[in-house]
Structure formats: C-alpha cells, structure tokens
Amino acid sequence: MKKIYNYLLVLILLCIQAFTAQAQFAPEALCGTAEPSDAHYKYIESLNQQYNALDIEADSNGTIYLPIKFHVVTDINGSRYDQNTLLTVFCELNQKFQGSGIQFYMRGDVNVINNSLYYRHTSNAVGSALMNEHNVIRSINTYFVDLSAIGLCGYAYFPGSGPGGPLREGGLMMSIGCSQVGNTTLAHEMGHYLALPHTFDGSSTDPISPFAERVTRNPNEVAPRFSANCNTFGDRYCDTPADIYGFRWNCNGMALNDTDLNGDTFLPDAGYFMSYSSDFCMNKFSQQQMNTMRQTVRSSSTTPAPRNYLTVFPMPAWDTVTSNVTLLEPLASSTPSPSNFIFFRWSKAPGATHYFVRIRRNNLPVTEFTTTDTTRLFTINLLQPGLTYTYTIRPYNHGWTCVGPSQTGTFTTTQGYGVSVFDPKSQEVVIYPSLLEAGQLLNIRSGEAQLQSFSLVDIQGRTVMQAPLESGSIVHQIQMPVLPAGTYHVKLQSNRGPLFERIVIQ
C-alpha cells in the first residue's frame, strides 16, 4: 500500500498544474522600450555600412536558431498567461520571422513563477528585480506579466543593456493583454531585443527638424531641397520609409498629412513590425532590419556580435509535428471514472515530445498539465463527482508548437476514492480536523518533514490563502479565514516537495 501512495505522490509532484483565470485587461497601447543611445545608433550604422558595401543580403548562410526561455508569472489569485495561447503565439512568432533567416525554439519547459509582486508589474524596477532573479544564461528571457498598471504592451532591452548580467542581460517583458493570438507585440519586442529601433525613433518628436529623417531617398537633391539623410537619422534604415508616428495608428483609416523639411509628405509603411501601426497592419521586417538582427546574434569576420552567446550551442534536433493525437481513454462511452482516479491515454503524435492536457467544465478551465508520456493517471482531488468534463490534448515539441489542441473528449465522474496523498502509516504529516467550522483552527503536525508554506486552494483552483510556516515547529496552527462552505485543498510546501490534503469547511 505504501508503494501506491508514494506513486501517487510522485505523480502529483510531476504534475504541472496551471490555473488560469479569465481576466479582463485594460486597453494597453504603447511599447516601453527606451530610444536607442547614440552608441547603439552608431552600431546600427556600422552594420549598414557593411551591408551597403556588400550590396547583397550580408548573411544568407542558413537559418539561425535562437533559444527563448519563457517565464509565466502567476498572481496570488491564480491569474496568469494562458499556456495554450503561449504555444500558439510562439508558433506565430516563428511565422512572422520566416524570411528573416531567424527562427526560435523553447529552451526547456515554461518556467512558472508564483509571485504577485512580479505579476502586478508597477515599474521597470520590478522588471529588473524579476530579470535579475530569473534570467537564464544564453537564452532570450521572455516574461508574461500584467503591465496594465503602467499602460504598456511590452518592453525589451537592446543588446548590451538591461538587468541580468553577462550572457543573460535584458530580455522581453510582455503584457498578457497584448500577447493574445494575432497580436504582434512579441515580434516587435523581439526586434528591439535584436537591436532594432522603432521606425519613427529619432524623428517623431520634431518631424520638420533638420535632425528628423527626410522622405527623400535621393542623396543628391538640388538646393533649396535637402538631400536624403536616412543612413544617419531616424531609425538609420533607408529601406523603411521615414516615419514620425509615435502613437498607434490605423493603416486603413488614418489621414496622415505631415510633411518634412522639404515639404514632402511622410508615407510611413504600416506593415513594419517596428512601427506603431495597429497590430493587424503589421507583417514584415525590412532587409536591412533582418540584416541587423542576424548580425546581432552571429559574429562575422569583421564584427563581433553582441548577442553571439545565443548561438554558441546548436539547437537540438526536433521534427515538425504534422498530425494530432487520437484520444483513446476516457471516452464519452467509457464507464464513469472516480473523480480522483482518471486514466488518460492517447495516441502518439509523430515528432511530439510533449503533450499539453487541459481539462474543462462548461468551457471553463479546471486544470491543465504537461506530460512527455502518452498516458496519465490523474489522481488529484480537483474534480467533483457526478459531473461531465471535457478535455483536449495538444502535441508539441520545443521547436514546433503549430499543431492546435486535439478534438475534444468527454468523460463523467463518480465518487472519488477516499485516498489521501499522504501515507497514513508513516504519520509524518497529519492535518486535522478535516471537517472545520468557519473560523476554526486547522492543525498541522509536521512529523519529520520540514514544512515551509501553507496554501489553501478552492475547488476552482484559486489560491484563497497563503501563509509561511515557521521552520522547526512540529505543530502549526492556522486560523481559517471566513470562506464559503465547501471542499478546499491544502497544499503544503516542504523539504520533500509539495503535499496535498483535502478539507471541508462547513
């Protein structure tokens, strides 16, 4: 019997639970990336000189693969960026970079960070603390948080700047609201991370100044007209038209009539990811922009690349996942499963190394987990008996996430087994009473385990209470908050990993 309990505990430890709350986000507009320094502009100008001298795409030597480390920050109430959306948005990022000669892969699994201070991002100082603490070396560290307090869609750091230290400096800070399917903020911020300014940088503050990028591309205009200055002003790219619009503008409906020093009307191209046009207008990088990004990650014989450290190790080999899984168990026709003992089984999808499993009820997420196997015995006390649930399984690998979720499966539950994830014989950790009055004390006897923190999770998976536990204490007493009657799950963090127990509040 002890073996079975240990097995259940291991299963629970392996299980990545992702509770997703449906949140509404305030409309967020702008990008918080700083305008480049003079030194950064000089860097881009030097790359352009090489590019112009070669008069060809400077580096057509195969696709460059770059590792991204995704960090998903979770609020205390369970709000976090949806992992299914992340997989789709990552696929879209690679589609947007097709033609640039750069593609991305995921460096390991998504890193989930439970920290409300980091989630509710109120200043760049919070972002710096987050990056200093969690940036992984030789990876593009990309965080998903709530940036609505500072009204931003995202921000990123240019090469050679930002927190984190050598081989891991800077990264991307993404708002959840601007990271939905079809949004372009991730591609835009990635452009910054790989050295690109906005198309309007250097020109938007004073479009008729002599220091703004002019519309003309003629280097030999006759006085009184002024010649082209696109190599040394604005974003430094002559293959992106002069742009002065540092606000969101609609590519289809906005009359833009501003003129430059020559009286020429600005005709910015809304297609560029590095502009501020509406997301749906954007679809490209220019050749010079692509050249800059490639030169920023791969050193040439003449120029060391500031982010060369991203390409030192080759990408592991992954196949394209071309087909989805077939659900095998449970099926709608199956015998109902005990609510805490459900066996999932599905066919292997060729090329997939991971499967993202999502369980829902009435189209609302209940729980989700990722596994590398094609079976899973689900033993967590999260589902209720006598109900119908649906589930989907999404196959992927760290280089390919473009296959969506499988067809939807359905199963029903019966009364769960009365098992505990604790081994009752060991008497190591005991929680009592399991049936509490509102406001009653809950006792936890730690035995030999060293308990670190206590969380109370409701049946929807929302954390309703958290408290640290004093190390060294044998008995801990927790004052229960006033909560609606019902079943709750106690999660204890210990030196032996997380432990779970179910209690009922009357």
Shortest CB 256 distance to Zn ion, Å: 19
Shortest CB 30 distance to Zn ion, Å: 8
Pick 191 or 416: Cβ nearer Zn ion? 191
- The site string for Zn ion over 116-155 (x = CB under 5 A, - otherwise) reads ----------------------------------------
Dihedral (C-alpha) 445, 446, 448, 450: value to the nearest 10 degrees? -160
Pick 21 or 30: Cβ nearer Zn ion? 30
Shortest CB 198 distance to Zn ion, Å: 5
Classify residue 248 as exposed, middle or buried by CB count within 10 Å of its CB (0-12, 13-18, 19+): middle
Q: Interface with Zn ion includes 190 (CB under 5 A)?
A: no
Q: Interface with Zn ion includes 33 (CB under 5 A)?
A: yes
Pick 8 or 31: Cβ nearer Zn ion? 31
| Spatial contact of 186 and 152, defined as CB atoms under 8 Å apart | no
To 5 degrees, how large is the angle CA 498–CA 503–CA 506? 155
What tokens were used for 338?
A: 């005990």
From 10-18, 32-40, 93-101, 239-247, span contacting Zn ion (CB under 5 A): 32-40
Shortest CB 202 distance to Zn ion, Å: 13
| Spatial contact of 142 and 119, defined as CB atoms under 8 Å apart | no
Pick 33 or 401: Cβ nearer Zn ion? 33
Shortest CB 167 distance to Zn ion, Å: 24
Shortest CB 344 distance to Zn ion, Å: 42
Q: Can you tell me which residue has the tokens 């997939």?
A: 352
- How many CB atoms neighbour CB 35 within 10 A? 15
Residue nearest Zn ion by beta-carbon distance: 31
Q: Can you tell me which residue has the tokens 């007493």?
A: 477
Beta bridge partners of 466: 455
Pick 33 or 141: Cβ nearer Zn ion? 33
Among 31, 230, 281, 431, binds Zn ion (CB under 5 A): 31
What tokens were used for 223?
A: 């006085």
Whole-Å CA distances, 203 to 85, 140, 288, 421:
35, 29, 18, 63
From 28-36, 108-116, 265-273, 447-455, span contacting Zn ion (CB under 5 A): 28-36
Q: Which helix (H) or strand (E) holds 68?
A: strand 64-74
Shortest CB 172 distance to Zn ion, Å: 11
From 24-32, 127-135, 207-215, 291-299, span contacting Zn ion (CB under 5 A): 24-32
List, as one string, the DSSP characters of 401-455.
--S---PPEEEEEEPPP---SS-TTT--SEEE-SEE-TTPEEEEE-TTS-EEEEE
The upper half-sphere exposure of residue 242, i.e. CA atoms within 13 Å in the direction of its Cβ, equals 30
Pick 33 or 339: Cβ nearer Zn ion? 33
Shortest CB 32 distance to Zn ion, Å: 8
From 31-39, 63-71, 283-291, 364-372, span contacting Zn ion (CB under 5 A): 31-39
Cβ contacts of residue 4 below 8 Å, gap of 6+? none
To 5 degrees, how large is the angle CA 23–CA 403–CA 337? 70
101 vs 293: CA distance, rounded Å: 9
Shortest CB 240 distance to Zn ion, Å: 14
Shortest CB 31 distance to Zn ion, Å: 3
Pick 196 or 457: Cβ nearer Zn ion? 196
Going by DSSP bridges, is the β-strand pair 375-378/342-346 parallel, antiparallel, or unpaired? antiparallel
Q: Can you tell me which residue has the tokens 């501003």?
A: 258
Q: Which helix (H) or strand (E) holds 133?
A: helix 124-134
Per rule CB under 5 A, count of chain residues that contact Zn ion: 2
From 33-41, 113-121, 226-234, 431-439, span contacting Zn ion (CB under 5 A): 33-41
Pick 307 or 358: Cβ nearer Zn ion? 307
Pick 162 or 330: Cβ nearer Zn ion? 162
Q: Which residues here bind Zn ion, judged by CB under 5 A?
A: 31, 33
